[in-house]
Amino acid sequence: MTIFLFTYPSALYTYALPRQIRGMTKDRQIRYDNLMRGTGCLPTGRTRGKPGRVCTGALLFLLAFLCGIFPSCERTLGWGMLLWSAEDPDIPSGTILPVYIRSNIDHAWVAGIPEAYLSTRRDGLDKFEIPLPLLELVGSRRAALNRAEEFKEYALSYAETLQDGLPIREETDNGSRRVYRLRAGEIIKILSKNQGTPAINTTGDPLPGDWYKVLTRDGNIGYCFSYRLRIFEHSGGPLNAERGEAENTEDPDLEFALSRNWYPESYGIMAASGKIDIEELSEKWQFLPGQDSGLARIHTAGLDRTFPYTGIRRDGSRAWHFEGAPLQMALRSESLLAVQYSDEGGAMRTLLFVTLPSSPENIIVQETERRNALYQNLVAQGPGFTSSNYGTLSFAANGRFVWDENSLLIPQIIPPSTLNSGNVEMRLFLGPSLEALYSGAFTLRFDSAETAGFPVHFLYTLDSQGLRLEYVNRENLDGSTVARRSSSPVIIYFYK
């Protein structure tokens, strides 16, 4: 058998022809040329009449002609398995078929119709065209039978999308890249069930469901989590899987908004200033659109609300409404998202969320390293410092301190119930007016039998002679920043 290629501008057909092609008679050659001219196609690489004319619709006529002049032309490219059920003829997915032609210009296979389904073919032909993505070419008939047996469990399985915007992803992880966005009611083909990272709801708990490898009717393949799918069986006939014209319009702004992680505006202020509150950042407050689950969530300090919705619709320029929920969002810039919601009293509230230059986890690691470096510098300068009036203050490499003979500071600064030891926290920052005057600020959290630890705050300065401390009242703190000095500060000097 010879594989014969019919080529012409912008087209390529592959067909399995018998060796008799080399012995084609002159009469058969004339009949063949007349057919190809009639369809606008010539196998010589030229198109008579209109250069570049496409031979759409000629596949079946070509195959019928060739089989008329070659009695043994029923040779195949191989056997394939139908992934998506056919409607004319009415053949269920999972059926194996002989494949004769692959058209790269029409993006279609020409396959034979099994005898059991010939009666369902309206034009009476025994072959039909199948879009390339909807049939898997396997090879030999035995291999195709084995493949069909493997596929048997999901051969008739399809799913309907229950949520507009549900993503098909590149991998079995809801953080993986989106390769396709489904519309509500769209039908997809289930190909297999796969292991993967469980999708999570807005509270961080796993959602019920499984990851499936799926195929859309226009050939997109990827993975979809089943929480928002209605899985059903279909053995043949029409499937309502056509996308409406409006649904074909992509929304790159929405895709951008859904692909980013959105954190409270305070996180962005911290990242921009370099003054990181690890305790706040570790709360992982966030706005989660929930495109995998249909559950949007606003999680911030003092607010944790979930909004079930059925779809996301454009509501103006770079603005969208979550259908079925009192929730909107608007993209104000590439790094700023405004989220508006209705509170329990019906009043509309607006919160701002930002993207970060790095993940909160990475920012916490960097801030932890910065604090450790500051503390180790204290240890390196000491580790012990002594005052004639206020005792000895020693710093250990593990972040602990011991302050002996500090009775003059009790009870005005240090509570009498505390011990003389504790942990050092390098969590304080200097306000602009103090940055040039001090090396930094820290908190000494004294051990106590009655509390989890009592914090006492100090500004500090290191010099060649020792360590200078200045007590900071709580009212002079603005969050984790020392905003100003006390009007009558208590200053303590320790020598090395």
For the segment 86-100, what is each residue's pLDDT rounded down to a tens digit? 988 999 999 999 999
Asked if residue 317 belongs to a domain, the reply is yes
Specify the pLDDT at position 61: 52
Q: Would you say residue 53 has pLDDT above 70?
A: no
Specify the pLDDT at position 307: 93
Percentage of residues in the chain with pLDDT exceeding 70?
82
Answer for the pair 86, 100: CB distance below 8 angstroms, yes or no.
no
Q: Whole-number mean pLDDT of the chain?
A: 84
Q: Specify the higher pLDDT residue, 293 or 203.
A: 293
Total number of domains in the chain:
4
Hey, how many other C-beta atoms are within 10 angstroms of the C-beta on 161? 20
Q: 486 and 384, same structural domain?
A: yes
Asked if residue 219 belongs to a domain, the reply is yes
Asked if residue 104 belongs to a domain, the reply is no
Q: 478 and 400, same structural domain?
A: yes
Specify the pLDDT at position 200: 75
d(CA 442, CA 456) in angstroms, rounded, equals 9
Q: 377 and 459, same structural domain?
A: yes
Reported confidence tier of residue 26, pLDDT bands at 50, 70, 90: very low
d(CA 275, CA 267) in angstroms, rounded, equals 10
Q: Which residues are registered as beta bridge partners of 251?
A: none
pLDDT tens per residue across span 357-387: 999 999 999 999 999 999 999 999 989 999 9
Reported confidence tier of residue 180, pLDDT bands at 50, 70, 90: very high
Reported confidence tier of residue 204, pLDDT bands at 50, 70, 90: low
Q: Which range has the worst mean pLDDT, 14-18, 171-175, 215-219, 288-292?
A: 14-18
Q: 286 and 198, same structural domain?
A: no
Q: Specify the higher pLDDT residue, 243 or 452.
A: 452
Q: Would you say residue 247 has pLDDT above 60?
A: no
Long-range contacts of 49-58 (CB under 8 A, 24+ apart): 51/9, 52/9, 52/10, 54/10, 54/11, 54/105, 55/8, 55/11, 55/105, 56/105, 56/106
Q: 343 and 408, same structural domain?
A: no
The pair of structure tokens assigned to 115 is: 């005898």
Domain boundary pick from 333, 357, 381: 357
Reported confidence tier of residue 122, pLDDT bands at 50, 70, 90: confident
Q: Specify the higher pLDDT residue, 72 or 479.
A: 479
Reported confidence tier of residue 7, pLDDT bands at 50, 70, 90: very low
Q: CATH number, domain at 193?
A: 2.30.30.40
Domain boundary pick from 337, 357, 377: 357
Among 9, 73, 18, 76, residue whose Cα is nearest residue 42: 9
Asked if residue 135 belongs to a domain, the reply is no
Q: Would you say residue 113 has pLDDT above 90?
A: yes
Amino acid at residue number 178: R
Q: 351 and 369, same structural domain?
A: no
Give this prediction's pTM. 0.63
Specify the pLDDT at position 123: 79
Q: Would you say residue 243 has pLDDT above 70?
A: no
Taking residues 112-127, report their average pLDDT.
Answer: 88
Q: Would you say residue 240 has pLDDT above 80?
A: no
Specify the pLDDT at position 249: 53
Q: Would you say residue 20 has pLDDT above 50?
A: no
Hey, how many other C-beta atoms are within 10 angstroms of the C-beta on 192? 14
Task: Find the angle CA(486)-CA(488)-CA(494) to the nearest 5 degrees.
Answer: 90
Task: Find the angle CA(234)-CA(236)-CA(240) to the nearest 5 degrees.
Answer: 70
Reported confidence tier of residue 120, pLDDT bands at 50, 70, 90: confident
Asked if residue 131 belongs to a domain, the reply is no
Asked if residue 450 belongs to a domain, the reply is yes
pLDDT tens per residue across span 421-454: 999 999 999 999 999 999 999 999 999 877 678 8
Q: Which range has the worst mean pLDDT, 22-31, 122-131, 174-183?
A: 22-31
Task: Find the angle CA(237)-CA(242)-CA(244) to the nearest 5 degrees.
Answer: 150
Taking residues 472-483, report their average pLDDT.
Answer: 93
Q: Would you say residue 475 has pLDDT above 70?
A: yes
Specify the pLDDT at position 293: 84
Q: Would you say residue 56 has pLDDT above 90?
A: no
Reported confidence tier of residue 35, pLDDT bands at 50, 70, 90: very low
b/e per residue 472-490 (b: at least 16 CB within 10 A): bbeebbeebbbbebeeeeb
Taking residues 315-335, report their average pLDDT.
Answer: 93
End-to-end Cα spacing for the chain: 95
Specify the pLDDT at position 481: 95
Boundaries of domain holding 59: 1-75
Q: Would you say residue 404 has pLDDT above 60?
A: yes
Q: 366 and 352, same structural domain?
A: no
Q: Specify the higher pLDDT residue, 417 or 171.
A: 171
Domain boundary pick from 330, 357, 384: 357
Among 471, 456, 444, 462, residue whose Cα is nearest residue 378: 462
Reported confidence tier of residue 74, pLDDT bands at 50, 70, 90: low
Specify the pLDDT at position 63: 53
Q: 340 and 410, same structural domain?
A: no
Give residues with Cβ within 8 angstroms of 127, minimum separation 6.
60, 63, 100, 110, 111, 112, 113
Q: Would you say residue 466 has pLDDT above 70?
A: yes
Q: Which range has the worst mean pLDDT, 30-39, 55-64, 101-110, 200-209?
A: 30-39
d(CA 103, CA 125) in angstroms, rounded, equals 19
Specify the pLDDT at position 208: 85
Specify the pLDDT at position 174: 84
Asked if residue 205 belongs to a domain, the reply is yes
Q: 466 and 388, same structural domain?
A: yes
Asked if residue 129 belongs to a domain, the reply is no
Q: 335 and 219, same structural domain?
A: no
Q: 420 and 335, same structural domain?
A: no
Q: 489 and 412, same structural domain?
A: yes
